[in-house]
Structure 1
Amino acid sequence: MSVPLRPSALLAAPLLVLALLLTGCASGPAPVRTPVAAPGQGAPGPESDAASVLRASPSAEPTPSPAEIPGLGPQTRAEIPEEARQAFVVTGEDEDANRSSAVLYSREDPAEGWAAVAGPWDAHNGMAGWTDHHVAGDLRSPKGVYSLTDAGGRLPDPGALLPYDEQPRFAVDGEGFFGEPLEGSFDYVVAINYNRVEGVTPLDRDRPLGPERGGGIWIHVDHGGPTQGCVSVPQERMEELLRTLDPELKPVIVMGDADSLGR
Structure 2
Amino acid sequence: MQWAERTWAELPADLQAANFSALLPVGATEQHGPHLATGMDFVLADILCRKVAELTGVPMLPLLPYGCSLGHSRRWPGTISLQPITLITLVKEIGDWAYHSGVRRLHIVNSHVTNAAPLRCALEMLRAEHDDMMVAVINTAQMSERVRSAHFADGDDWHANVAETALMMAIAPQIARPGLNETSDDPDRTGSLVFAHPVNRTSKNGVTGAPSGASAEQGRELFAWMVEDLTAIVEKGKLEKPPLDASYSSRAE
Q: TM-score range by the shorter chain?
A: under 0.3
Q: Which has the higher strand share?
A: 1
TM-score, normalised to structure 2, is 0.22
TM-score, normalised to structure 1, is 0.21
Q: Greater CA radius of gyration, 1 or 2?
A: 1
Q: Which has the higher helix share?
A: 2
